[in-house]
Amino acid sequence: MDREKLITVLRKTWTKMSPDARRLALELALPEAERELVAAALA
What integer is the mean pLDDT of 6-27?
Answer: 97
The yes-or-no verdict on residue 38 having pLDDT over 90 is yes
Q: How confident is the model at residue 20 (pLDDT cuts 50, 70, 90)?
A: very high
CA distance 23 to 34: 16
Residues above pLDDT 70, as percent of the chain: 100
DSSP 18: -
Task: Give the pLDDT score at 11.
Answer: 98
Task: Give the span between the Cα atoms of 28 and 31, in whole angstroms.
Answer: 9
The b/e string for 5-28 (b: 16+ C-beta within 10 A; e otherwise) is eebeebeeeeeeeeeeeeeeeeee
Q: Which of 26, 29, 27 is nearest to 38 (CA)?
A: 26
Name the pLDDT band for 1 (thresholds 50, 70, 90). Answer: confident
Q: What is the mean pLDDT of the chain?
A: 96
